[in-house]
A and B are shown apart, each in its own frame.
Chain A
């Protein structure tokens, strides 16, 4: 017996909602996975082309703008022992799916197959000399505690770029939910008010079941 969720259709034709539409969610699990892999891909799978373009443009635009602000250094994965060596923002950045996956490859292969792209910064060990950034024209060299300290110093918008890419990942979580369950409809004012008053128990239960009814 197929999962009812795979044949769900999202029907809204009530008079008290100012939108009338039918959305075929198709296989919502696949849609959610696709939506995670590439922003908008889940909606393209569901043939919701407008929202697919919207999500892809907004989320990838935010992600790429963050990468631009951070000179391409803000998305990397690192799980070291110190707080500096742990890149917690990556947990959110990974929300955009495949576009952030090179960072995982870079973090887990010492050979760094993608070169410096999304590569984690170098952290010299306790008995190693500090990170040498570059040689200056006068022959002297710049030393920093580690490569991350160097990035924070020379990239003006390193933190801002990090925030942008994190928000892109979080926005894609919303898109994933939308691909899986359809849009979250707001209750009309009178219905919301009655629910707030606590006298809508039976009616509300019926309303919820009507939002996602199996296709006939």
Chain B
């Protein structure tokens, strides 16, 4: 199962993350602020947070795979 998950995360498929990450970050940040500068700053922080969170999940899955 994990191998198929890693195959699904090929670099080509990861590009699908970019528009989604951009849209989600901007929309979420826009619901928290009214002005463009704080919206942009919040969106950048939120996007980084999402990427780090996904990297942690990826690392955990990778660890589980190693120990199985």
Contacts and interface: CB of A to CB of B under 8 A. Distances in A.
Contacts of B3: none
Contacts of A21: 34-35
Nearest to B33: A183
A51 interface: yes
Interface stretch (A53-61, A107-115, A116-124, A136-144): A53-61
A175 B38 CA distance: 17
B34 A164 contact: no
Q: A interface, how many residues as a size bin?
A: 20 to 34
A157 B34 CA distance: 35
A171 B23 contact: yes
B27 A160 contact: no
Interface in B20-35: 20, 22-24, 26-28, 30-35
Nearest to B25: A58
A19 B16 contact: no
Contacts of A182: 34
A54 B34 contact: no
Given A61-B19, A62-B20, A65-B19, A171 B35 contact: no
Contacts of A65: 19
Contact of A174 (B20, B31, B34, B39): B31
Contacts of A197: none
A178 interface: yes
A155 to B, nearest CB: 14
A175 B14 CA distance: 27
Given A61-B19, A160-B16, A185-B32, A18 B27 contact: no
A177 interface: yes
Given A54-B39, A160-B16, A183 B34 contact: yes
Contacts of B24: 167, 171
B20 to A, nearest CB: 7
17 contacts: A21-B34, A50-B36, A51-B34, A54-B39, A55-B30, A58-B26, A58-B27, A62-B19, A65-B19, A171-B23, A178-B30, A178-B31, A182-B34, A183-B30, A183-B34, A184-B31, A185-B32
